[in-house]
Structure 1
Amino acid sequence: MNAWEGGVLVEWDWWTLEFGDVHAGAVGVLVAGGEPGPVYFDVGSGPDVPSTARWSAYDGRAGRPRAEALRAGCACGWRGAAEYPLDWATVGDQPLYEADIDLAGPLADWNAHLSFVRDTAEPLPEPLAALLVQLTEQLTTTAADTPLAALRAVGMLERIAARVGREAAGALADDGVAAETVAAGLGTTRSKALMLLLTAQSR
């Protein structure tokens, strides 16, 4: 999954249906000066200069920084404490994207981060959680068998979710629940929780 943040293409390595793009994960890099900014590619003249923060771009080629270590990162701003040094003697002259780099460490750290977020989030009632799993499976099957029916069902779900979401957010806003509490309960960021509450108050 790709996203644009501040005009920079961010290519997420991991994503979950549970948290969506709020907690999308990626492999980050560290250089001698810490966490580097995006790298830019010279494509000649023109107003737009392509850039990326993809870990494999930090290979020292064409004046780009060379990564010394990898670590996990999350769209919410979290960064893994563990660092995984790159063995450039093994990588050699090949581009990083062609090298056999073990990303198991950063992935495990990101999963641990998600576990913490999940543990602090408001738990779903078991019948509702089971229903959501069943609904996902049924929609997936319907999309393969009768895609038009699946799209119709998705449209209905979007309208149901919008209505119920407004009601639930409105109740929280009326009760004066803080944005920080809502963010923790939803496993989202404070800014998104605040926007949710403000939108509900203006209904």
Structure 2
Amino acid sequence: MLVEWDWWTVEFGDAHAGAVGVLVDGGEPGPVYYDVGSGPDIPSTRHWSAYDGRHRRLRAEALRAACACGWRGAAEYPLDWATLGDRPLYEVDVDLTGPLADWNAHLSLVRDKAAPLPEPLAALLVEIIERLTATTEDAPLAALRAIGVLERIAARVGREAASVLAEDGVSAETVATGLGITRSKALMLLLTARDR
């Protein structure tokens, strides 16, 4: 099944990717399957634009914000099919500002609970982004080399930091909240650190 996220941030990556969720009869419907003939693999999607009632698909009654962490927005944004007509949703100008604002509000709460970065480190990260972006334009191979070095540094330091947390008995829930990731990812970090 294709997972198409509408929004994503560098800060939280796929742990808090956002999407427009669909409601049918008050609940979230299953995926939409595409008829491609016979075969063992039938492509499917949960992207909001596929729920347009065409080709025997379900028709979305309302939209809401959704996050990869499992959070769902409380506000519902009804679709006016009398105005939309029978056109595919991807061809219609659907106002998604409500779900996007709700997802951003959710991210604000996640950000507020996450461990704050020391200001010098946050400034250094911004500078690294700016320099890498400039280097990508001037010397893309050098930018890739720098990224490789950063990935190796991040992996090593990440293992060391996770090891300290594991030795201190910090819970997976605390790590998940502090990093803005799921509990299962936090648990994997701690378990991997203990196996070192």
Provide TM-score, normalisation by structure 1. Answer: 0.95
Query: Which residue of structure 1 aligns with residue 157 of structure 2?
Result: 164
Q: Does 1:53 align with 2:46?
A: yes
Q: Does 1:187 align with 2:143?
A: no
Match of 1:148 in 2: 141
Separation of aligned partners in 1, 2:28 and 2:141: 46
Cα distance in 1 for partners of 2:34, 2:149 equals: 44
Pairwise CA RMSD of aligned residues?
A: 0.7
Q: Secondary structure at the match of 1:9?
A: coil
> How many angstroms apart in 2 are the aligned matches of 1:10 and 1:194?
24
Looking at structure 1, the residues matched to 87 and 141 of structure 2 have their Cα atoms a distance apart, in angstroms, of 46
Q: How many residues align?
A: 196
| Percent of residue pairs bearing the same amino acid type | 81
Q: Which runs of 4+ in 1 moved over 2 A?
A: none
For 1:153, give the aligned amino acid. Answer: A
Partner of 2:102: 109
Moved more, 26-35 or 82-91: 26-35
In 1, Cα distance between the equivalents of 2:150 and 2:34?
42
Aligned to 1:139: 132
AA in 2 matched with 1:147: P
Worse-superposed segment, 159-168 or 113-122? 159-168
Structure 1: gaps spanning 5 or more residues: 1-7
Once the two structures are TM-superposed, the CA of residue 33 in structure 1 deviates from its matched residue by: 4.9
Higher relative contact order (CA 8 A, sep 6+): 2
Q: Paired residue for 2:88? A: 95
Local SS of the residue matching 1:10: coil
